[in-house]
Chains A and B, each alone.
Chain A
Amino acid sequence: MQLALKDGTLTRDGFSLEASISFDDGLCVVMGPSGAGKTTLLSLLSGLERMDGGSLMLDGEAVTGYDRRIGIIFQHPERQLFAQSVFDDVSFSLRRLGLGREERRDRTASALREALVDEKLWGVSPFALSGGERRRAAIAGMVVSEPSVLLMDEPTVGLDAPSYGYLMGIVERFRKKGIVVMATHDDEAASRADRIVSMDRGRIVSDGAPVDVLSFPGAVLSRALGLPCIPPVEELAALIKGRMA
């Protein structure tokens, strides 16, 4: 897959964004201070926002509006739950894919299981779930249609440990078969990326490897050890030990 934004521009309420960027399969993280334009960039990449100028291409074809190959998980996706039951909410996006009833049911059930939502809760109103369950169900509703491009805006905010584990599992699964673009302030989530794009005041200001861009202790140590990437803590600990011996 290749997603390419060429000379995309958007001006709103005194804020202006100008960006050209393309993505291949894998995980790209977008970072930058509040107000840098991360959310705006994602909305342009989704095809849901009309640009003032520029073009968006997916595998060489122009994207000019809603495209079911592109999925976006907005900030606080749990605020978009709306159906009568958790199950109906998660299966909603499958209706327009022209799948049979049975396949819709199977895919919804497997998405809910992956999201650690107990089967007892599938028939209740999404508003009866706890905060963590609501968030996971909302994410399940976005990934159930298995989009080729998954855009995520600050998905780790407010997640407890099980929900964080679920989300990172989704990221790993989708980056292997398509494009994942994730805006985040979470250094450790960002350390898994293939590349990190930094934004400031509506512009892309850098594009590089996590080990060169991040400044949390894991990145500092990895640089000090001359590593090409930032490994998980267990590997990092083993490498430190090796160096000390």
Chain B
Amino acid sequence: MPSIAAEDISFSYGGEDVLSSFSFTIPGPGTVAVLGANGSGKSTLMKLIAGLLPLRRGRIEIDGRQVTEDNAFSIRRSIGIVFQDPDSQFVSPVLEEDTAFGPENYGFSRTEVMSRVDRSLSLTGLQDRRRSAPQLLSGGEKERAQLAGVIAISPDILIFDEAFSMLDLEGQRSMHDLVAALKEGRIVVSITHSAEEAALSDRVILLRRGRIAADGPSEDVLSDMDLLSSCSIRPSYALRLTSALREAGIDARFAISDDGLKEALCSLL
């Protein structure tokens, strides 16, 4: 079963600490949002977990194994990252070759590679585009193509680094449906600055200048206007409207998503 534990980690790029005395545990499969404003340290945290930056202070355990310089490569095999900008990630002019890049580098047989490519492309709905150039796909397709390359290595831990922010609503919905289909048995971490997007995860770790400002069920963390504002996070529309209603003297329940807002309004009638 996948797990992540970070204990008292600190990190700096040379100046001030970007992360200081940071600890949390994700004990098993589930969806977790790491929510923070620009410069809060969320991308650095993701890079440390994935072993893309060397950890000098504190310890990180993935699946119960402490990450060291010697085993960072093998531990990374269980982690897949989907980045914000797919254009900078493609390595081949043909989609199916691009999807095959990960499993090929992990040394799988040709048959295994091909079956993984088939599975990943069909799961992401890109079978028809397998001979296309990934660079010429639409924005939503590019993001799915990047995800196909990531799931071809069957990671237990999936990290989305602001991966949805460039997509239109429809693209975001289709990515979220995909994530819902993939989360069984996996840890899915979404790095985001959007309270709306964080509301789709069960748990939210909220950052403020390199420290944990709150960590708990998304309903709790995302319904605290003052807390979010103190972390430079724009509260969701649903929360701002339900808060405004309460301030106007209407006893509305706090909502953190559009669906929750609908329920809160209906219960008033």
Check A188 for interface membership: any CB of B closer than 8 A. Answer: yes
Is there an interface contact between A157 and B165, defined as CB atoms closer than 8 Å?
yes
Q: How many residues of B contact A (CB 8 A)?
A: 37
Question: Do A132 and B39 touch across chains, with their CB atoms under 8 A apart?
Answer: yes
Neighbour of B238 across the interface among A34, A163, A217, A237, CB < 8 A: A217
- Whether B30 is near chain A, meaning CB under 8 Å from some CB there, is no
Q: Is B171 an interface residue (CB 8 A)?
A: yes
B138 touches A35 (CB 8 A): yes
Number of A-B contacts (CB under 8 A): 86
Contact status B166-A33, CB under 8 Å: no
**A13 on interface, CB distance cutoff 8 Å:** yes
A43–B37 Cα distance when bound, in Å, is: 30
A234–B167 Cα distance when bound, in Å, is: 29
Nearest neighbor of B262 in chain A, beta-carbon distance: A217
B229 within 8 A of A: yes
B244: A residues at CB distance < 8 A:
233-234, 236-237
Contact between chains at A130 and B39 (CB < 8 Å): yes
- Give Cα A147–Cα B212 distance, bound, in whole angstroms: 42
A34-B136 Cα distance, complex, nearest whole Å: 13
User: How large, as a class, is the contact surface on chain A?
Assistant: 20 to 34
Residues on B with C-beta less than 8 A from A160 are 37-38, 193, 232-234
Q: For A161, what are the chain B residues with a Cβ–Cβ distance below 8 Å? A: 37, 229, 232-234
A164 contacts chain B at the CB level, 8 A cutoff: yes
Does A241 contact B250, Cβ atoms closer than 8 Å? yes
Set B168, B241, B258, B265: member contacting A33, Cβ < 8 A: B168
Q: Is B155 on the interface with A (CB-CB < 8 A)?
A: no
A185 at the B interface (CB under 8 A): yes
- Of all chain A residues, which has the CB nearest B170? A33
Chain A residue with the shortest CB-CB distance to B228: A161
B38 touches A132 (CB 8 A): yes
B32 within 8 A of A: no
| B residues in contact (CB < 8 Å) with A | 37-39, 84, 136, 138-140, 162, 165-171, 193, 229, 232-234, 237-238, 240-241, 243-245, 247-250, 258, 261-262, 265, 268
Q: Taking beta carbons and an 8 Å cutoff, which residues of A are in contact with B?
A: 13, 33-35, 130-133, 135, 154, 157-164, 185, 188, 216-218, 221, 233-234, 236-238, 240-241, 244
